[in-house]
Amino acid sequence: MSRQDRKRRQQVDKKNARKREARAAGPTAAEPPYHGKQVPLERLDACRWRIPRTDGMHVDGVVWAREDLLPDLREDRCLEQVANVATLPGIVGHSMAMPDIHWGYGFPIGGVAAFDPDAGGVVSPGGVGYDINCGVRLLASDLQVGDVQGRVRQLTDALFEAIPSGIGAGRPELLLGDDDLDALMARGLDWAVERGLATPADVDHVEERGRIPGADPSHVSKRARSRGRGQVGTLGSGNHFAEVGVVDEVHDEAAAAAMGLRLGQVTLMIHSGSRGLGHQVCEDALTGMLQAAVDFGIPLVDRQLCCAPITSAPARAYLAGMAAAANFAFVNRQAMAHWARGAFKDLFKAKLTTVYDVCHNIAKFEEHEVEGKLRRLLVHRKGATRALPPGHPLVPRAYAQTGQPVIIPGDMGRYSFVLRGAPGSTASLGSACHGAGRLLSRHEAKRRYGDQDIVGKLADQGVIVRGASRATVVEEVPEAYKDVAQVVDVVDQGGLATKVVRIRPIACVKG
């Protein structure tokens, strides 16, 4: 061996020894930027607040909120989490939070952050969450409220029977073998069309046409498959639901007409995600990403923010598995819509048409203009909805003049909203809120309302609720949420999206 080769070998050995030492020590913990301090909020305008960049942050934080929402934001640690996300390598623009922001794990719920692959940007599975492509499907029926009067309980029962919820519940016809599961994950809604679960019109009205590019089922573990195999077309638990509503306010006649919505119309909204399959894809990736953070020398202020450069092998593997899980979620919501169509047809000979289907837990490559330059970025939305304006190339043809429908569920007692993406959403990289945002912890909701007859109380208010678990219904009590109207007002006034209709619930199926 030449002297030069020996020297090179010594250098490699030293580098490997350093790597081994680092691995043994685990991920490097860094001090969160505002740890133990009140996070400062500087007013930018009526709807936006700046969290100034400080030690470790690469960019400022920006929070969309009105002043009256701020005390609730200060109740938990969500603002710290906005600052924490700003410490991730390659973040572009701002670490952003939508007005329904609340304390999450790693990213805040309501968090949006974009990363540039060409500037060392990272992907963080925690920025997508366990429930990959959790999202909402809105369907419009050809019924008016009068058509269902006196039969809402019957409809609720039919939906409860048709849409499996609760542990171990599933439809035997969708207990898939490996080949079918692979095909479903690779092709998303195209698979559902072939199986007779979806129509081409459904596909035209789903974000990314129900198929995230780059999905590779070989990056979905055996464990993830065994968790998800029997769960296609199942609701799940927590805040997931299938809700029948009635359009009770129209704010924008033309946009409502474009979406096939009108006053008094009966609608169905389905909120669910990728079930155990997606949860396991995330968990598998986090284990690898903790190691990747060590290998790439990325200090972590919160382990749930573990990440890897977008161009690295672990990141590519995660993105391929994430896309597969996202496609699973599209099919999951589609299959539930299919069962619900059966229930509406059997009871009322009625039709359900997909208005739109949005993802709110996802990371996607999109082009956005930042500081005057068009850049291809990996946008993470953790509890945030895409809200693209009219004319944007990613908006489906049916909504080219309207802007992308933005579906914002509230709580099961009050109302939900449909908005449309507005030009001002360029400031949030085409994003808006995803719901009302929690006000009370689940524990606190249980303490305050655990001994009350929530189902009876809601029935008195005109909302029939059936839940697989009483505890879930209690923890999801309307009072546990902010008033979604306040949250939506911020989105509207801030120019991210504008109100189209309000929908009042009349029936809700909970997991």
Partner 1 sequence: MTTAATYRFFDHTGDYGVDVDAPDAGAAYDAVAQAFAALLTDAPGCVARAEARALEVTGVDAAATLVAFGNELLYLFEAEGFLGAGFAAEAMAPDRVAGSLWGEPFDPARHPIARPAKAVTHHAAAFDEDPRTGRVRARLIFDL
Q: What is the set of active-site residues?
A: 434
Comparison of 199 and 291: residue with beta carbon closer to partner 1: 291
| Residues 397-411 as b or e (16 or more Cβ within 10 Å = b) | ebbeebbbbbbbbbb
Q: How many C-beta neighbours within 10 Å does residue 54 have?
A: 15
Comparison of 228 and 405: residue with beta carbon closer to partner 1: 228
Q: State the nearest-atom distance from the C-beta of 402 to partner 1, in Å.
A: 32
Q: State the nearest-atom distance from the C-beta of 275 to partner 1, in Å.
A: 9
Secondary structure element (H or E) that encloses residue 308, with its range: strand 308-309
Name, in order, each residue with C-beta under 8 angstroms of 471's C-beta and a sequence gap of 6 or more.
Answer: 446
Q: State the nearest-atom distance from the C-beta of 162 to partner 1, in Å.
A: 20
Secondary structure element (H or E) that encloses residue 5, with its range: helix 3-25
Comparison of 32 and 89: residue with beta carbon closer to partner 1: 32
CA proximity to 315, closest of 113, 123, 114, 88: 123
Q: State the nearest-atom distance from the C-beta of 354 to partner 1, in Å.
A: 26
CA proximity to 378, closest of 72, 84, 92, 34: 92
Q: State the nearest-atom distance from the C-beta of 212 to partner 1, in Å.
A: 20
CA proximity to 127, closest of 272, 310, 259, 296: 310
Chain positions contacting partner 1, by CB under 8 A: 23, 26-27, 76, 78, 102-106, 109, 126, 129-131, 166-168, 223, 226-227, 236-239, 276, 279-280, 282-283, 286-287, 290-291, 294, 302-304, 306, 438, 441-444, 469-472, 475, 511
Comparison of 211 and 482: residue with beta carbon closer to partner 1: 482
Distance separating alpha carbons of residues 51 and 207, to the nearest angstrom: 31
Secondary structure element (H or E) that encloses residue 225, with its range: helix 222-228
Distance separating alpha carbons of residues 51 and 212, to the nearest angstrom: 33
